[in-house]
Amino acid sequence: MPYDYDLITIGGGSGGVRASRMSANFGARVALIEERQLGGTCVNVGCIPKKLLSYAAHYADDFTDAGGFGWSVGSRDFDWARLIANKDREIARLNGVYARLLSDAGVAVIEARGRLIDAHTVQAGERTLTARHILVATGGWPVVPQIPGAELAITSNEAFHLARLPARAVVVGGGYIAMEFASIFNGLGVKTTLVYRGRQLLRGFDRELGQVLAEEMAQKGIEILLDSNIERIERKSGALAAQFASGETRETDLVMYATGRAPNTRGLGLEEAGVTLAANGALKVDDFFRSSVPSVYAIGDVIDRIQLTPVATAEGTLLANTLFNNSPRRMDYDNVPTAVFSHPNVATVGLGEDEARKRYGEVEVYAARFRPLRATLSGSAERVFMKLVVDRKTDRVLGAHMVGADAGEVIQGFAVALKCGATKAQFDATVGIHPTGAEEFVTMRTPRPAPAG
């Protein structure tokens, strides 16, 4: 049976664009269906705009620090509307870049909502198209708890388009998105409260990272309420009233939920087409991203493995090679680095201490917390935290973790070392760049005492 295309991709985010573009470069006839802007979450309501807002929020500390270095900073005036307009202009430019990349590769871009009809057929708006292979790359979507008044709250999707900056904000969540937006609001002068139902921020990271970050954020003026939850939100005389499980009620101008994201699979016709989904809506796929329907594949956040843009693009590269370049290869999910663009930044690669002990038994832990050189003149109370987790039997470094300025830039290089299986002895043999904070990773010599028992 002749098909309209060799591959139809539903979803124009980083993973879908990469898979489509590379497949076309390998000679495949490809169509990509996207109902919103190209670039997906990362470009439009994720990584890129978030980092731009984070840069903006950092200037508050920079202005304060400048005095210690001899600078006199005059009056400060922040214009939220100007920041958002400048951000929107950059995002529009990136949307255009994605469109040109696809066009140059010969990919047909269809602006519509895609929906599976069967194993080889997709409905794209008013059109019905067929393909030998179908790729689902529709990403994730924020989840908001179903409490009374939930419709009065926003998520990260809306945070990038606020008409005005609130004077007070409550951010609900304990993961990286909550940390980032609490830091952004606080840095821009918003009275910010972070609410999390658990006891440990950044669950899934090395536990000390969440502890250290909580201390650093608190000293910057963010109120952190752990073991706490909102049960109801009401509108009250121009503001919002958030009622907590404890019975306390707080007035605020904005409530933002950052309580997780779910695979964006509703209304795509997947189950009707025979595709097996997990309980949370994620597509179940094998090592080569094939679903229970042999012609249907999925990558990125919609398969709920590691929800990071570079992971989705790597998966897209592998899939294109598997389908159209006769070069199948499995994705390696070990030692994937990640960063949290909170203030201060957090970055990590490899295993946290607790997970390393479970897997390897005896480990050695090296850690340091210190005042960075910049703070000696600026007067800032911010401190840097670094940690290495090492397998005692093999001396291999299992994890590298950091809280501090530019942590993501620092850990990226150490991620290469961990991917190559570097040992602590090789770290020790590496000459540090002085004076930098990063040199601490190659100068820590004394492990912590092993925990009792």
Q: Please identify every residue annotated as catalytic.
A: 434
Cα–chain-centroid distance for residue 324? 30
Helix, strand, or coil (residue 262): strand
The three-point CA angle 222-228-234 to 5° equals 90
Q: DSSP letter for 228, please.
A: -
Determine the Cα–Cα distance for residues 186 and 184; give it in Å rounded to an integer: 5
Kindly state the tokens that stand for 53: 């807002």
Determine the Cα–Cα distance for residues 58 and 399; give it in Å rounded to an integer: 28
Task: Characterise 173 by phi-psi region: left (phi > 0), alpha (psi -120 to 50), beta (else).
Answer: left
Helix, strand, or coil (residue 356): helix
Give the DSSP H/E element, type plus range, for residue 328.
Answer: none
Q: Compute how many other C-beta atoms are within 10 angstroms of the C-beta atom of residue 109.
A: 18
CA distances from residue 67 to 23, 159, 318, 395, 435 in whole angstroms, order as listed: 54, 32, 50, 45, 21
Which of 204, 198, 205 is closest to 224 using CA atoms?
A: 198
**If you search the block for the tokens 């830039």, which residue do you land on?**
409
CA distances from residue 427 to 347, 365, 432 in whole angstroms, order as listed: 18, 14, 9
Which of 224, 218, 190, 437 is closest to 343 using CA atoms?
A: 218
Q: DSSP letter for 326, please.
A: S
Largest CA distance in the chain: 75
First to last CA, the chain: 67
Determine the Cα–Cα distance for residues 301 and 118; give it in Å rounded to an integer: 22
Answer whether 344's CB lies under 8 Å from 403's CB.
yes
